[in-house]
Chains A and B, each alone.
Chain A
């Protein structure tokens, strides 16, 4: 149901870095799962509105007031690499 190239594309979109072997295993499992959730096509959803969230809250606002956040040290504490108060990552290209 999924072409190998299609699963490789999804893996690339999601930045999963999967190996060929992992992609092949995932391809079979994904096919089974998508076939199963295909059951949705039978549901009588003609005039039904979608539900994205439950609980009925809408635009919850708070006062626009400055509060303390993390210090710079706290915010950097878990980064694998940082320098001069900034997180260090490899170049984009």
Chain B
């Protein structure tokens, strides 16, 4: 039993009641990291001295005035390495950003800090968040704590593993086509993709700017509601951040689902869902029905084109966004090139891995004259169709549920040779990014001892509904206290 097994609300209570200190919490987190992360590979770097110093400041402040602190005060957290952290190296898991020390922090990092959260370090991910398995990091392999021969899911794999293996109380990830929800599902934690614009992207290293959102990964739905509440809201530094007031997400929890209309998209269930995943999904749907929700079959007919649209739009934005990675203002240098063109090519050839090169080239192609209309423009029209599907469905139901992914975590290396098989991992998650709506993945059960997540999709700015439904599933499943280690111990009869 580690202090990190507690929910954030329980940690906050313990801190307030002086049952343990913030230093003890942070030390407990690093104990887990020291013991487990050599094998799991979630952290690219840790900031131990800084974290412990901050924790002792929190403890002194708590001793003076224990009340009136937010629940994140003194809580150990960590950030995906696509989020800029002032003075702490930030690489997006890419060689081209090796050694980059941001001169400022992302807005979400500042907001977490202003609440008193303590950063433990930076988390591995797919290079520039491009991938579904976390196997595209330039630096290290991250493994699934439930089965170390399997992927953690991507691209926020380190963020999911750190929470799952009780190395951090909460983490932030980013979701462009499923990069929070997918690893959350594979690692048995909660992960939220907020509506587009709900959370500031300032200081998030851009992948596809019209799709990217930052969101929390945590052990419980209530913890995610807490963290999202802390980071959400308008930011003058991000003109695409929504000006709408932030809902009280924590109030949504415990409201139950009685009277809610819950849509089940028939197209999603026709996507080759693994039988074990389907069983967990059917069980979760039954739980919701038993608690008074009304299950309604709905149709999202443009789903069959969503994957194609995504893999045109996202690479197009990549080819444009990553043009700035030229080795000039940051990066590893030019390797003795004697003219600027060669210098760019040297920096980018040394700096980018296979998947990033693939997407930049694809994006360059679909944006080039003669192909723009057939691919990019058409993909943008399909994006409209996908968004209209959801709009229509949300006039009939309050939310939509599906498995988060068609399978549980797959084996390391299994899909690496076949980009298309890897891309299909995101079939059920990426339509929400195209439409800009809210979504969450909540652990709902197991398939062959691997965690399986249920995805709840809500309307634009409908996060509260997602939390409400996810909390009901969490209560019924009653598995959030089961971590990868306690589960193993139970099986071995320890």
Interface residue ranges, A against B (CB under 8 Å) = 7, 10-11, 13-18, 22, 26, 29-30, 32-34, 36-45, 48-55, 57, 60, 62, 70, 74-75, 77-81, 87, 89-93
> What is the bound-complex CA distance between A77 and B326, given in angstroms?
16
Please give 5 more A-B residue pairs, beta carbons under 8 A apart, in addition to A70-B104, A78-B99, A80-B327: A15-B344, A16-B352, A16-B360, A26-B357, A33-B420
Partner of A62, one of B236, B311, B344: B236
Assuming the A-B contacts A43-B385, A80-B334, are A34 and B340 also in contact, with contact meaning beta carbons closer than 8 angstroms in the complex? no
Partner of A78, one of B309, B329, B345, B374: B329
Assuming the A-B contacts A15-B344, A37-B311, A93-B339, are A45 and B197 also in contact, with contact meaning beta carbons closer than 8 angstroms in the complex? no
Assuming the A-B contacts A32-B420, A52-B210, are A79 and B364 also in contact, with contact meaning beta carbons closer than 8 angstroms in the complex? no
**In the complex, chain A residues whose CB is within 8 Å of the CB of B360:** 14, 16
Say yes or no for B332: interface residue by CB 8 A criterion: yes
Chain B interface mostly: helix
**In the complex, chain A residues whose CB is within 8 Å of the CB of B331:** 78, 80
CB-based contact B364/A14 at 8 Å: yes
CB-based contact B364/A10 at 8 Å: yes
A91 to chain B, nearest CB (A): 6
- Minimal Cβ-Cβ distance residue in B for A74: B103
> What is the bound-complex CA distance between A18 and B357, given in angstroms?
9
**In the complex, chain B residues whose CB is within 8 Å of the CB of A87:** 328-329
CB-based contact B365/A10 at 8 Å: yes
**In the complex, chain A residues whose CB is within 8 Å of the CB of B100:** 78
> What is the bound-complex CA distance between A88 and B26, given in angstroms?
43
B102 to chain A, nearest CB (A): 8
B98 to chain A, nearest CB (A): 11
Assuming the A-B contacts A37-B311, A40-B375, A54-B196, are A90 and B387 also in contact, with contact meaning beta carbons closer than 8 angstroms in the complex? no
Partner of B338, one of A16, A70, A79, A90: A90
Say yes or no for B245: interface residue by CB 8 A criterion: no
CB-based contact B419/A55 at 8 Å: no
CB-based contact B381/A30 at 8 Å: no
**In the complex, chain A residues whose CB is within 8 Å of the CB of B329:** 75, 78-79, 87
In chain B, residues 378-414, which have Cβ atoms closer than 8 Å to a Cβ of chain A?
378-385, 387
In chain B, residues 152-204, which have Cβ atoms closer than 8 Å to a Cβ of chain A?
195-197
A-facing mask of B306-340, CB < 8 A → 1, else 0? 01110110000001000000111111111001111
Assuming the A-B contacts A10-B361, A30-B358, are A55 and B326 also in contact, with contact meaning beta carbons closer than 8 angstroms in the complex? no
CB-based contact B340/A40 at 8 Å: no
Number of B residues with CB within 8 Å of any CB on chain A: 72
B245 to chain A, nearest CB (A): 15
> What is the bound-complex CA distance between A17 and B447, given in angstroms?
44
A-B contact pairs, 21 of them (CB 8 A): A11-B361, A13-B364, A15-B348, A16-B348, A16-B349, A30-B358, A30-B362, A37-B366, A43-B302, A48-B384, A48-B385, A50-B380, A54-B435, A55-B195, A55-B196, A55-B460, A74-B103, A78-B99, A81-B333, A81-B334, A87-B328
CB-based contact B419/A40 at 8 Å: no
CB-based contact B342/A90 at 8 Å: yes
A-facing mask of B231-258, CB < 8 A → 1, else 0? 0000010011011000000000000000
> What is the bound-complex CA distance between A16 and B325, given in angstroms?
11
CB-based contact A26/B361 at 8 Å: yes
**In the complex, chain A residues whose CB is within 8 Å of the CB of B333:** 80-81
Assuming the A-B contacts A16-B361, A33-B419, are A70 and B103 also in contact, with contact meaning beta carbons closer than 8 angstroms in the complex? yes
**Residue among B338, B349, B352, B368 with the highest chain A CB neighbour number at 10 A:** B349
Say yes or no for B9: interface residue by CB 8 A criterion: no
CB-based contact A41/B210 at 8 Å: no
**In the complex, chain A residues whose CB is within 8 Å of the CB of B345:** 15-17
Say yes or no for B436: interface residue by CB 8 A criterion: yes
> What is the bound-complex CA distance between A79 and B212, given in angstroms?
27
> What is the bound-complex CA distance between A49 and B243, given in angstroms?
25
Say yes or no for B343: interface residue by CB 8 A criterion: yes
**In the complex, chain A residues whose CB is within 8 Å of the CB of B346:** 17
